[in-house]
Chain A
Amino acid sequence: MIRVELPQHLRTLAQVSGEVKLEVEGRVTQRSVLDALEAAYPMLCGTIRDHVTHQRRPFLRFFACQEDLSHEPPDAPLPDAVASGDEPLLIIGAIAGG
């Protein structure tokens, strides 16, 4: 099981509390995790990455294992600890707006 921690506003939108747990088939990458997340919670489509380009929205970041993975290619493997479920993938809303 892959663990994903969403920002508060997206937890409200998806009507979940705490971490989201997902089954991800194949390699565990940003793309495969987000595909699984959007399939399970379709109301999140377009809120983390663009509907058409699939680019990460500018004010969101992907963190895991004390690393900023936001600029990693979407098909790069996520850390082993995320793939094994020992650590969550954190989706963080940037602190912006003054």
Chain B
Amino acid sequence: MSKVRVLVGTKKGAFVLTSDGKRDKWEVSGPHFAGWEIYHMKGSPVDPNRLYASQTSGWFGQIIQRSDDGGKTWQTPGGEPAKTPEGFPKGQSNKFAYDSSAETGKPLTTHQWYDGTQHPWEFKRVWHLEPSLTDANTVYAGVEDAALFRSTDGGTTWHELSGLRGHGTGPHWQPGAGGMCLHTIILDPSDPGRIYIAISAAGAFRTDDGGNTWKPINRGLRSQFIPDQDAEIGHCVHHIAMHPSRPGVLFMQKHWDVMRSDNAGDSWQEVSGNLPTDFGFAIDVHAHEPETIYVVPIKSDGEHFPPDGKLRVYRSRSGGNEWEPLTKGLPQSNCYVNVLRDAMAIDSLDSCGVYFGTTGGQVYLSADAGDNWAPIVRDLPAVLSVEVQTLP
């Protein structure tokens, strides 16, 4: 029988939740890395027992953790205190050094600071880890300040794909309220050269050549908070989702507005439709129905909680515009939690499971595609991210 493994990153550690395919009885392990912020964990599609985790702290900075046994044990890649003929290894698995200009050695570019001046890029943390679809040792990292890094040695060393920062619009990027973070990485399963990424508050970008060259893909996005509402960059994209069977179709939860693109991001249309509010963070796609999508509407950018104190997932079976509230099993009064951008996930069992975590520490599951919900756990630290693996 199939199994599922849910990887939960929280403000105070990581938790691994496991169940058989029925998904009614759960084992909870953790906290791993107790006391640290775990921004994101994700498993390799090639080797599901290979997990990567981003562990961060305001005191001690960034740590990358790797597991080769499905989360039972962890190590910092290349950080083992073992002397080799070449000497002790250098701990570089948490070294995210931005590229500089090959000609001058100076920073590749600067970005716009809050006061309108230009500011150098400064590494703060890894927001998202995206393992390769074809190689367990290759993994991408989206970081703050916004840049994309890649490791091809299992997270031991990292190198920036600096064509993103250097393509031209970098000096106009500026931080959103949560920092200038690259939080979304989507690998196209049909085209190894194509990668989508999203940055707050710069927008969405695409490469078609494996990360060497990039272009903004924000046409059709409108943002009231910037002087030119249709600007090429400057949009606060919160998250993007894609169904692997249709890699040219993208769904986006923007700061305000839910959007879709049917041409790989070349243009976007709003599909917020009848949502009670189109602000939110998380968005995802049903495993077997590429036109069925999920969002969790949040009241506003000033009030990061569900409207009316009712926690409702909204489902559209038509790829947007027409939405239905999903409430069974979710609190419908006095609920003031948030659901963050990387805190929703979908399993691929026959009866599709939908998972999301809240800043109140609950992880909810619907094992029937959203019709009925129940908490798996309800008293974790604030949940930052949720990923799920469907295992044989």
Report A's interface with B, CB cutoff 8 A: 7, 9-10, 13-14, 38-48, 51-52, 57, 59-60, 93-94, 96-97
Checking B59, B90, B97 against A45 with a beta-carbon cut-off of 8 angstroms, the contacting residue is: B90
Checking A13, A42, A96 against B78 with a beta-carbon cut-off of 8 angstroms, the contacting residue is: A42
Question: CA–CA, A60 to B76, complex, Å?
Answer: 21
List A contacts of B58 (CB < 8 A).
59, 96-97
Report B's interface with A, CB cutoff 8 A: 35-36, 57-63, 76, 78-81, 88-95, 97
Contact A13-B76, Cβ < 8 Å, known A45-B92, A59-B59, A60-B59: yes
Checking A39, A46, A48 against B62 with a beta-carbon cut-off of 8 angstroms, the contacting residue is: A46
Question: CA–CA, A7 to B61, complex, Å?
Answer: 14
Checking B88, B89, B95 against A46 with a beta-carbon cut-off of 8 angstroms, the contacting residue is: B95
A57 B76 Cβ-Cβ under 8 A: no
Question: CA–CA, A13 to B61, complex, Å?
Answer: 12
Measured CB to CB, the nearest residue on chain B to A39 is: B88
B59, B63, B93 pick with most chain A CB within 10 angstroms: B59
List B contacts of A46 (CB < 8 A).
61-62, 91, 94-95
A44 B91 Cβ-Cβ under 8 A: yes
How many pairs of A and B residues are in contact by the CB < 8 Å rule? Answer: 70
List B contacts of A57 (CB < 8 A).
59-61
Q: How far is the CB of B32 from chain A (nearest CB, A)?
A: 11
List A contacts of B95 (CB < 8 A).
45-46, 51-52
List A contacts of B76 (CB < 8 A).
13, 42-43
Question: CA–CA, A40 to B81, complex, Å?
Answer: 6
Contact A43-B60, Cβ < 8 Å, known A9-B35, A9-B36, A51-B97: no
Closest 10 interchain pairs by CB?
Answer: A42-B91, A43-B79, A45-B91, A47-B60, A43-B76, A59-B59, A51-B95, A46-B94, A93-B59, A39-B88
Question: CA–CA, A40 to B94, complex, Å?
Answer: 17
B60, B89, B93 pick with most chain A CB within 10 angstroms: B60
Question: CA–CA, A93 to B94, complex, Å?
Answer: 19
Question: CA–CA, A57 to B62, complex, Å?
Answer: 11
B89 A42 Cβ-Cβ under 8 A: yes
Measured CB to CB, the nearest residue on chain A to B57 is: A9
B57, B90, B91 pick with most chain A CB within 10 angstroms: B91
List A contacts of B59 (CB < 8 A).
7, 9, 57, 59-60, 93-94, 96
Measured CB to CB, the nearest residue on chain B to A92 is: B59
Question: CA–CA, A44 to B63, complex, Å?
Answer: 9
Q: How far is the CB of B105 from chain A (nearest CB, A)?
A: 13
Question: CA–CA, A38 to B91, complex, Å?
Answer: 8
List A contacts of B60 (CB < 8 A).
7, 9-10, 13, 47-48, 57, 60, 93
List A contacts of B61 (CB < 8 A).
46-47, 57
9 CB-based A-B contacts, threshold 8 Å? A9-B59, A13-B60, A42-B79, A42-B88, A44-B91, A45-B92, A51-B95, A59-B59, A94-B59
Question: CA–CA, A55 to B36, complex, Å?
Answer: 22
List B contacts of A9 (CB < 8 A).
35-36, 57, 59-60
Contact A42-B63, Cβ < 8 Å, known A96-B58, A97-B58: no
List A contacts of B81 (CB < 8 A).
14, 40-43
Measured CB to CB, the nearest residue on chain A to B76 is: A43
List A contacts of B36 (CB < 8 A).
9
A13, A14, A48 pick with most chain B CB within 10 angstroms: A13
Q: How far is the CB of A10 from chain B (nearest CB, A)?
A: 6
A7, A10, A46 pick with most chain B CB within 10 angstroms: A46
List B contacts of A48 (CB < 8 A).
60
Given contacts A40-B88, A42-B78, A42-B80, 14 further A-B contacts (CB under 8 A): A7-B60, A9-B57, A9-B59, A39-B88, A40-B81, A41-B91, A42-B81, A42-B89, A43-B63, A45-B91, A45-B92, A46-B61, A46-B62, A48-B60
